[in-house]
Amino acid sequence: MLLLTALRNAQLRPTGFRLCRLSIAPRCVSPRSPLQILTRRLASTTTSKSAASGLKTAPERKYMYPERLCIYHAGTGRVTFLACLKLSTIFVFAFFGFVVTPTYIEKAGWGDTTLRTVAAAFGPLLIVGYLTSPVVSFMHLRLPPFARVSEESLRSFVRRLPAQAQTTELDITTMSAIAKPRVSKVKLSELRPANQRFGIVNYVRDTAAENATRTWYNFRAVGKFNVQHNKSPRVRGVWEEIAAMIAKQAA
């Protein structure tokens, strides 16, 4: 009996071992599988990175001209001189108005000398402000996207301006009494040639509607401009064509 039991156990052991091997073998992964998976992952990562870099480096549309193109420049020397002149009159006004005049009033009252000091304080400020307030420092033309691509498209847009004068805008920059830039947004159709203030003002516009929308403490809109020789180095002839168009429309 014991002998039969031992023989049975000896016969069953190889079979169990084979079954164990058979049951484990399907669960084992081939040594090539991790390498293949790693290679595929590296390839997909490289492809996604190259696609992302391709999207980032896609060439954007470049324009030759900005949206606000400077078509007129009065010149650096002239603008600097006018700014210094305006600031100088402010210092003169402050000195004679708050230092010299009170001293004369305290010592001699309102005599002829005191009146001269008052005139010396207010005279330069008012005269310089009256003569230089219309002077235009810069002038920018607002361009649509198609007119910014090349010089040919810009010239074509300028030639068609008479038909688009109601919508085309100019940003005209003048100087305030303290030499601070003042930008006036003007429709091209609003400008008219003129001859005012001893020939200083050569362009005007109607500001009644714009002033009606402003409160009493706001500055009045600038309606008189003085445009002289163009010193703009970037584009030549654009302002000259616009000036000729304005003169033709006013004729």
pLDDT in tens, 3-57: 455 545 555 554 444 444 444 444 444 555 665 665 666 566 655 555 445 444 4
Provide the pLDDT for residue 9: 57
Q: What is the pLDDT of residues 113-127, one digit of tens each?
A: 999 999 999 999 999
Mean pLDDT calculated for residue range 59-87: 90
Number of structural domains (the chain) is 1
Alpha carbon 140 to its chain centroid, in Å, reads 11
Mean pLDDT calculated for residue range 212-227: 93
- Of 196, 139, 193, which is closest to residue 168 (Cα–Cα)? 139
Mean pLDDT calculated for residue range 162-171: 90
Confidence check: pLDDT of 200 > 70: yes
Under a CB-based contact definition with an 8 Å cutoff, are residues 118 and 94 in contact? Answer: no
In a domain, 195, yes or no: yes
Confidence check: pLDDT of 151 > 80: yes
Better-predicted residue by pLDDT, 250 or 133: 133
**Among 35-39, 100-104, 246-250, where is mean pLDDT lowest?**
35-39
- Of 76, 176, 180, 185, which is closest to residue 140 (Cα–Cα)? 185
In a domain, 33, yes or no: no
Under a CB-based contact definition with an 8 Å cutoff, are residues 96 and 112 in contact? Answer: no
In a domain, 6, yes or no: no
In a domain, 175, yes or no: yes
- Of 161, 159, 140, 133, which is closest to residue 225 (Cα–Cα)? 133
Provide the pLDDT for residue 24: 45
- Of 62, 238, 73, 60, which is closest to residue 150 (Cα–Cα)? 62
In a domain, 173, yes or no: yes
In a domain, 227, yes or no: yes
Buried b (16+ CB within 10 A) or exposed e, 202-221: bbbbebeebeeeeeeeeeeb
Range of the domain at 98: 68-250
pTM value > 0.85: no
In a domain, 180, yes or no: yes
Provide the pLDDT for residue 143: 94
In a domain, 74, yes or no: yes
Indicate the residue type of 246: I
Confidence check: pLDDT of 89 > 60: yes
Two tokens, residue 244:
């000729």
Residues in the chain: 251
